[in-house]
Amino acid sequence: MSQRPVTPALDDRIADGRCLLWEAGGRPVSMAGITRTLVGTARVAPVYTPPELRGRGYAGAVTAAVSQAAKDSGAQEVLLFTDLANPTSNALYRRLGYRPVEDYLVLTFE
């Protein structure tokens, strides 16, 4: 298996402790990152669990952990963007205390 190069931004996030890898039974099962807090706000991104490991609570646990870490380090607000077409992640984030604020539409012109 070849490894892809790690971008400087990801290196920075890992070195700064803003990327959390969740393990179960000594095996990585999910991850979540958090941006630096800027003007009192941090953003959770990315959140990822491999498809074969979804539905076991790993993404919820790692998202709750990075959200709490952001608050503990001084963030007054923690936000995340989610796909409105994904009811599973939307329900999870609501259970964790996130609430919808605005909808965004991204348009690309060619």
Q: Tell me whether residue 66 is exposed, middle or buried, using C-beta atoms within 10 angstroms of its C-beta: 0 to 12, 13 to 18, 19 or more.
A: buried
pLDDT of residue 53: 97
Sheet holding 19-24, edge to edge: 19-24, 27-34, 41-48, 77-79
Amino acid at 57: G
pLDDT of residue 8: 77
Judging by DSSP bridges, how do beta strands 77-79 and 27-34 pair with one another?
unpaired
pLDDT in tens, 36-87: 999 999 999 989 999 999 999 999 999 999 999 999 999 999 999 998 888 9
pTM given for the model: 0.82
Q: Is the pLDDT of residue 103 over 90?
A: no
Report residue 3's pLDDT band, with 50, 70 and 90 as the boundaries.
Answer: low
pLDDT of residue 4: 56
pLDDT of residue 5: 59
More confident call, 4 vs 78: 78
Report residue 22's pLDDT band, with 50, 70 and 90 as the boundaries.
Answer: very high
